[in-house]
Amino acid sequence: MATSAQKPVARNPQGRKRARQALKARAHNASLRSRLRTAIKAVRKAIAGGDKAAAQVVFRASTSVIDSIADKKIIHKNKAARHKSRLSAAIKALA
């Protein structure tokens, strides 16, 4: 069973190159996904703080991160919309 930490096992040069590229893309996508999770956590932390104005500021900043990652097809656009909707509803509930 091959893992991401192992060397490419393809036999021909084209397969080896694709395997190298896949590892590079996987690392890049993982970092973007991490950015997404961090942005969502920042909004949740602001909501937990109870300050609606601060939460809205953080939400606006994280919305652009969420949309950017959805545009790159790291996550599905509907998943991005669901995250934004739930965070927005949580901020509105602070009133």
pLDDT value at residue 95 = 76
> pTM for the whole thing?
0.81
CB 10 within 8 A of CB 18: yes
pLDDT value at residue 77 = 97
pLDDT value at residue 54 = 94
Nearest to 66 by CA among 49, 90, 41: 41
Q: Which tokens hold the place of 13?
A: 């040069």
pLDDT value at residue 4 = 59
Averaged pLDDT, groups of 10, the chain, 95 residues long? 65 92 96 97 96 95 97 97 98 91
pLDDT value at residue 46 = 96
pLDDT value at residue 8 = 62
